[in-house]
C-alpha cells in the first residue's frame, strides 16, 4: 500500500511514517519545514526516514497547492493521512493568521487532492481541544462541541466541518481523529514534558499552570500511530452501502456522508502533578516548580472515551506513563549533549 502523509518531519508524522515503513508500506512524505521550532530536529527525523528505500518526500508548504497536487498525483496513494498543521494553543493567541493558512487553506488543498486522486481513505488529524468548554467527561465523539476556547481549536473544528461537507458532496471517505495529549521520543520542544525535562536538567524553574490542578489523557506516541495505522483500514462506508452492514455502538458515522470522527486516547486521566513526578523520577532530579494561573485558551481537563476506536479496530494502548516517560528521557539524553540540554 502507498500512503501519502503530510507532516512527516513532525513529531507524529515521523512516527507514523516509520511504523508504516517498518510494516513494508510505501510512504511519500510532505512537509513545509517551518521554523515554529528547531528545524534541525525536523531534518533529523526526515534523515532517519530517508534510510528506508520506500520513502520519498516533498518539502513544500500545504498552501502551495500546485506542488501539493503534483506530489499526490505522482505518488498515487491508496490513502492520505493529513497530519501537518500549525499546532499550539498558546501560539495561536498571538499568531492567528498562521492557523488560517495552514489549518484551513492547507487542509482544503489536501481534501481537493484526495478528491482528484479518488483515494480509498482520507484521514485527518483533529484535536481534543475542539471539545472546548464541555465539562462532561470522558469526551465522546457524539457530544456536541461548539464552544472552542482557542483559535487553534476553532480552526480544527472548522476543518472537521469542511471535511464533512466534502465527504457528502464528493463521496470521499474521511476519518477525523481527535488527539489528546501525545508524548514520547522525538517530541516537539514546545510541549510541556519536553520543556520540563530541559529545565529540570538545567536547574531552571518550570511553570505549572493552574497551580497543577490540570488533568490530561496522556497518549504515548507509538500507541497513537498504531491506532492511526489501524484506522486506515476502517473506511467509513458510503451511505448507499450501509443496508447490509451492522451498526457500531456509539459510532459517530454521519447519516449523510462517509465521514466519522474518532478519539485516540488512553481512556484515562492523569493529574499534571503526577506527570511531573514521573519526569522527576526518570531524571533522578526534582523540579523547581513555579505555580501560575491557567493561560487564556487552555482548559483544566481533557479525557477521552476511546471505546469507539476499540470497537472499530480492536486497539488497546500498550505503554504506561512511567514507561513512556522513561523512553522519552532516554531519547533526550541520547539526542542532546549535556551542553545542548541547557539551551
Catalytic residues: 152
CA angle 77, 231, 163 (to 5 degrees): 70
Pairing of strands 259-264, 174-179: parallel
Cα–Cα distance list, 311 to 29, 181, 320 (Å): 29, 22, 21
Rounded CA separation 245/218 (Å): 34
Residue with cell 518550570: 206
The partner residues of 329 in beta bridges, in order of sequence, read none
Q: Other C-beta atoms within 10 Å of 110: how many?
A: 25
Please, are residues 130 and 160 in contact by the beta-carbon 8 Å criterion?
A: yes
Chain CA centroid to CA 32, Å: 16
Q: What is the largest CA-CA distance in the chain?
A: 63
Amino acid at each position: 500500500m502507498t500512503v501519502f502523509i503530510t507532516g512527516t518531519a513532525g513529531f507524529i508524522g515521523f512516527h507514523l511514517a516509520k511504523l508504516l515503513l517498518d510494516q513494508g508500506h510505501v510512504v511519500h512524505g510532505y512537509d513545509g519545514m517551518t521554523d515554529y521550532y528547531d528545524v534541525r530536529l525536523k531534518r533529523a527525523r526526515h534523515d532517519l526516514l530517508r534510510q528506508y528505500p520506500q520513502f520519498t518526500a516533498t518539502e513544500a508548504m500545504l498552501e502551495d497547492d500546485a506542488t501539493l497536487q503534483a506530489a499526490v498525483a505522482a505518488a498515487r496513494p491508496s490513502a492520505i493521512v493529513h497530519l501537518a498543521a500549525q499546532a499550539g494553543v498558546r501560539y495561536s493567541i498571538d499568531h492567528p493568521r498562521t492557523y488560517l493558512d495552514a489549518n484551513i487553506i492547507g487542509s482544503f488543498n489536501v481534501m481537493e487532492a484526495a478528491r482528484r486522486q479518488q483515494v480509498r481513505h482520507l484521514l485527518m488529524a483533529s484535536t481534543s481541544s475542539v471539545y472546548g468548554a464541555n465539562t462532561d467527561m470522558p469526551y465522546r465523539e457524539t457530544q456536541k462541541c461548539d464552544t472552542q476556547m482557542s483559535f487553534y481549536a476553532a480552526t480544527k473544528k472548522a476543518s472537521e466541518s469542511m471535511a464533512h461537507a466534502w465527504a457528502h458532496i464528493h463521496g470521499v471517505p474521511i476519518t477525523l481523529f481527535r488527539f489528546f495529549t501525545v508524548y514520547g521520543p522525538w517530541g516537539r520542544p514546545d510541549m510541556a514534558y519536553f520543556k520540563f525535562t530541559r529545565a529540570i536538567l538545567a536547574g531552571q524553574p518550570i511553570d505549572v499552570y493552574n497551580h497543577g490542578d490540570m488533568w490530561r489523557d496522556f497518549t504515548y506516541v507509538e500507541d497513537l500511530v498504531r491506532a492511526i495505522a489501524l484506522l486506515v483500514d476502517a473506511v467509513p462506508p458510503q451511505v448507499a452501502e450501509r443496508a447490509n452492514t451492522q451498526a457500531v455502538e456509539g459510532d459517530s458515522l454521519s447519516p449523510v456522508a462517509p465521514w466519522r470522527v474518532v478519539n485516540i486516547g488512553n481512556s484515562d486521566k492523569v493529574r499534571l502533578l503526577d506527570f511531573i513526578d514521573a519526569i522527576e523520577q526518570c531524571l533522578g532530579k526534582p523540579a523547581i516548580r513555579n505555580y501560575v494561573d491557567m493561560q487564556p485558551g487552555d482548559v483544566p481537563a481533557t479525557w477521552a472515551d476511546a471505546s469507539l476506536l476499540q470497537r472499530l479496530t480492536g486497539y488497546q494502548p500498550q505503554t504506561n506513563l512511567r514507561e513512556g516517560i522513561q523512553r522519552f528521557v532516554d531519547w533526550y539524553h541520547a539526542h542532546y549533549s549535556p551542553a545542548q540540554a541547557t539551551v
